[in-house]
Copies of this chain bind each other. A is one copy, B any other.
């Protein structure tokens, strides 16, 4: 029931999140190269957040591909994920405007952490609906990548107050880990007779 509207709504929210983040790049006063300097940290952070939203959209796209029936649990688990992702523009702006200071770096990690928890929740809600022998359950397996990400974000939060740059490096490393495309669902599917 209504999987296409769930996808359309999620696509809409993700498209808006990824685009309004650019509004945090405030147009500077003055026309010299130096005035751009103040925008640079927000810009660098914008690239990282753009990457993360892109990764979430990509994975969300694969995840919903495996869903046959949408129920109330999936709807709310999905909204819960969108809630945490909707905080990206705020934490991206705060971290960028304060030139990657410790506290904003830690908060950025918290939002990354909670979004990852919400994604896992959505994943397990779908598996609970589709059954443990479902395509998704086999594709996800032990979800090592998801566990590593949570560790990375937690490490980043812990490091933020001592080695702030190391926390930021961890966030970048986790993003790059996801950029390597997640072929698990595609691979498991290609072994199946297609039902579409």
Which residue of B has the minimal Cβ distance to A96? B27
Please give the number of chain A residues whose Cβ is less than 8 angstroms from any Cβ of chain B in the complex: 58
* Identical copies in the complex: 4
Q: How far is the CA of A17 from the CA of B21 in the complex (A)?
A: 11
Query: Complex: how many Å from CA A5 to CA B7?
Result: 8
Chain B's nearest CB lies how many Å from the CB of A86? 5
Q: Chain A interface mostly helix, strand, loop or mixed?
A: helix
Contact B22 A90 (CB under 8 A): yes
Which residues from 43 to 59 on chain A have a C-beta closer than 8 Å to any C-beta of chain B? 47, 50, 54, 57-58
Task: Confirm or deny: A93 has a beta carbon within 8 angstroms of a beta carbon on chain B.
Answer: yes
Residue A98, interface by CB 8 Å: yes
A171 in the interface (beta carbon within 8 A):
no
Judge whether B20 and A9 touch: CB under 8 Å. no
Apart from the given pairs A27-B90, A76-B179, 19 other A-B contacts in the complex at a CB distance below 8 Å: A5-B11, A9-B11, A9-B57, A11-B12, A12-B12, A13-B19, A15-B15, A18-B86, A19-B20, A27-B94, A31-B94, A31-B98, A31-B101, A31-B103, A50-B86, A54-B76, A58-B76, A58-B79, A75-B181
